[in-house]
Amino acid sequence: SQKIEQNSEALNIQEGKTATLTCNYTNYSPAYLQWYRQDPGRGPVFLLLIRENEKEKRKERLKVTFDTTLKQSLFHITASQPADSATYLCALGAGTASKLTFGTGTRLQVTL
């Protein structure tokens, strides 16, 4: 069955450092992968989309990589700030998708 794994343990980093979050998947051939941010009690907010034929995407302090051979995506936040503290979800979609399949999310805590 399809499985998406994100580090279930919280990631604690110091302000100014780069946070790196991992998303691994099995039994899936996604056409694209998305990263969302979710704050407690709120809906997910879209951050970045990367397609299967793309290796890397950047947006301001965010960078995502996508390796379809390793079946892995890495999500980086550079110069992290306490305001970046949230849960980050990765989601996979197929070409003519009728759904997104989400991982369980990784909670990021950025401290001063």
Partner 1 sequence: ETGVTQSPTHLIKTRGQQVTLRCSSQSGHNTVSWYQQALGQGPQFIFQYYREEENGRGNFPPRFSGLQFPNYSSELNVNALELDDSALYLCASSFPSGRTQETQYFGPGTRLLVL
State in angstroms the smallest separation of the CB of 15 from partner 1. 26
* Alpha carbons 103 and 96: distance in angstroms, whole number: 20
Q: What angle do CA 84, 8, 6 make, to 5 degrees?
A: 80
Nearer to partner 1, 79 or 97 (CB): 97
Nearer to partner 1, 39 or 56 (CB): 39
State in angstroms the smallest separation of the CB of 96 from partner 1. 6
State in angstroms the smallest separation of the CB of 10 from partner 1. 12
Nearest C-alpha neighbor of 46 from the set 34, 61, 62: 34
Please answer whether residues 87 and 38 qualify as being in contact, where contact means their C-beta atoms are separated by less than 8 angstroms: yes
> Which residues contribute to the site for partner 1 (CB under 8 A)?
4, 34, 36, 41-46, 49, 89, 91, 93, 95-105
